[in-house]
Amino acid sequence: MHIAEGFLPPAHAVAWTAVAAPFVIHGTRSATRIVRENPSARLLLGAAGAFTFVMSAIKLPSVTGSSSHPTGTGVGAIIFRPPVMALLGTIVLIFQALLLAHGGLTTLGANVFSMAVVGPWVGYGLFRLLAAAPFMVRVFVGVAMANLATYVTTATQLALAYPEGGFVEAWGRFLGIFAVTQIPLAIVEGLVGVLLLNALISWARPEMDELAVLPTDAKEAARA
Amino acid sequence: MRESTLTFGRRGVAIVLAAVVVLMAVALLLGGRAAAGEEEAFGGSDAAATTQLEEAGHEPWFEPLMPPAGGEIESGLFALQAGLGGVALGYVFGRLRGRPARAPRTAEASG
C-alpha cells in the first residue's frame, strides 16, 4: 500500500497530508491519555505497535503472483480504538520512508491516511457493527478488513491522482494491482489477529477489562 | 472454562495455524502459476504500481533522502524491522505471561 516517494502530484501530496494530520494529532493525544490514565496498558500499547512493525515488514506471496504485506493495524484498533493506530501506524511509515526508502515523505500523508486512518476505522467499525457475532468472528472480520480497506484506499488515491481513461477505469486497474493481491493476505492477517487476541485475552485479562475490549455479557458470564 | 466463549484452547490455535499454512501454500502454488513467464515471480504490489506509473510516462518529482545502498541492504533493513518488532512482542508476551495472577482472581480461587 506504500505509494512510492515522489509519485503523488504535489497538490495531492499536500491535500492528503492535510487530511491525515488531524487524525495523527488526535491519535497522539489519545495515546498520551491512555498511558496517563491506564499505565498498565503501556505493555499492550507496545504490543500493538510492535505487531504493526512486524506485519508491515513481512512480504507474503499471493495468488496473483505478486507479493504484499499485512498492515497489522486492526488488532490495535480493536484494543485501543482507531485514533491510537493513527499514531502507531505513522511511526512505522516514517521509519520505512526514511530508512528503507519504502513509501516516502511526500506520500506520507496519503500512506498514513490509508494504513493508519482508514484501515483502523473500517476494522474497528466492523468489529463494533458485528456485536451480535461470536467475539473471535468479529476480531477476524475487523482485522482482515482493516487490511483490505487500506489497499482499496491506496488504489483510490492513485486513481484520483492518475485518472487515465477515466477514474473508474483507473480505479479498476489499481484495484487489480492492490486489492486482489491482498485478499488472501487479509485472510491470513485476520487469522493471525485472532491468535494474538486469543493470547492477550488469556494473559492480559485485567488490561483488556480496563480497556473494555470484551463484550459485557461475556465478562459477566465469566465472573459468574 | 471461564472464558470458553471467548478463547479457544490448543486445538483451536492449531487449527488456525494450519489454516494459515494451507492458505500460504495455496497462494504460493496459484501465484507461482500466475507469475509464470513474468520477469520476477512475487514482485511487490507497491513496485508493480510504480512500474505501471512509470510506463505511463510519470516520473517521481522527489527522491528518497536515504535510499538503501542495494537490494541486500534493503532486505536486511526489512529483516531488522521485523526483528525489532518481534523482540518487542516477545518482551511483552514474556512480561504478561510471567507475572503472577491478579489479586481478585486469586481471592476468588481461594475463597
Whether the per-residue pLDDT at A178 is higher than 50: the answer is yes
- Mean of all residue pLDDT scores within chain B: 85
- Per-window interface: B 80-109 vs A, CB < 8 A: 81-82, 84-86, 88-89, 91-93, 95-97, 102
pTM: 0.92
Interface test with A, best of B13, B38, B45, B50 (most A CBs within 10 A): B45
Say how far apart CA A127 and CA A138 lie, in whole Å: 5
Percentage above 70 pLDDT, chain B: 86
Q: Which of B3, B59, B82 sits opposite A222 (nearest CB)?
A: B3
Chain A with chain B: Cβ pairs closer than 8 A: 197
Q: Is A218 in contact with B64 (Cβ distance < 8 A)? A: no
Q: Which of A55, A100, A174 sits opposite B77 (nearest CB)?
A: A100
DSSP reduced 3-state for B51 = helix
Q: For residue range A2-60, what is the model confidence (pLDDT) as tens digits? A: 999 999 999 999 999 999 999 999 999 999 999 999 998 999 999 999 999 999 999 99
Give the pLDDT confidence score for residue B40 in this predicted structure: 81
Say how far apart CA B89 and CA B76 lie, in whole Å: 20
With beta carbons under 8 A apart, name residues in chain A contacting B17. 195
> Rounded to a whole number, what is the distance in Å from the CA of A213 to chain B's nearest CA?
11
The DSSP code for A114 is: I
Residue tagged 493513527 (cell numbers): A86
With beta carbons under 8 A apart, name residues in chain A contacting B61. 6, 9-10, 106
Give the pLDDT confidence score for residue B23 in this predicted structure: 95
Q: Within 10 Å of residue B60's Cβ, how many Cβ atoms?
A: 17
> Rounded to a whole number, what is the distance in Å from the CA of A30 to chain B's nearest CA?
21
> Rounded to a whole number, what is the distance in Å from the CA of A25 to chain B's nearest CA?
24
Interface test with B, best of A44, A55, A99 (most B CBs within 10 A): A99
Q: Is B22 on the interface with A (CB under 8 A)?
A: no
Interface test with A, best of B23, B65, B92 (most A CBs within 10 A): B92
Burial class (CB in 10 A: 0-12, 13-18, 19+), B1: exposed
A224 — pLDDT class (breaks 50, 70, 90): low
With beta carbons under 8 A apart, name residues in chain B contacting A68. 44-46
Q: Mutual orientation of helices A135-161 and A119-129 as an angle, nearest 10°?
A: 150
The chain B residue lying nearest A93, using CA atoms, is: B81
- Which CA distances in Å does B71 have to A103, B50, B82, B84? 16, 17, 17, 20
Q: Is the dihedral of CA A63, A115, A134, B93 positive or negative?
A: positive
Q: For residue range B22-74, what is the model confidence (pLDDT) as tens digits? A: 999 999 999 999 888 777 888 899 999 999 999 999 999 998 988 888 889 98
Q: For residue range A109-142, what is the model confidence (pLDDT) as tens digits? A: 999 999 999 999 999 999 999 999 999 999 999 9
Return phi, psi of residue A60, to 5°. Answer: -115, 150
Q: Is A54 in contact with B86 (Cβ distance < 8 A)? A: yes
Q: Is A54 in contact with B44 (Cβ distance < 8 A)? A: no
Q: Are A105 and B65 in contact (CB under 8 A)?
A: yes
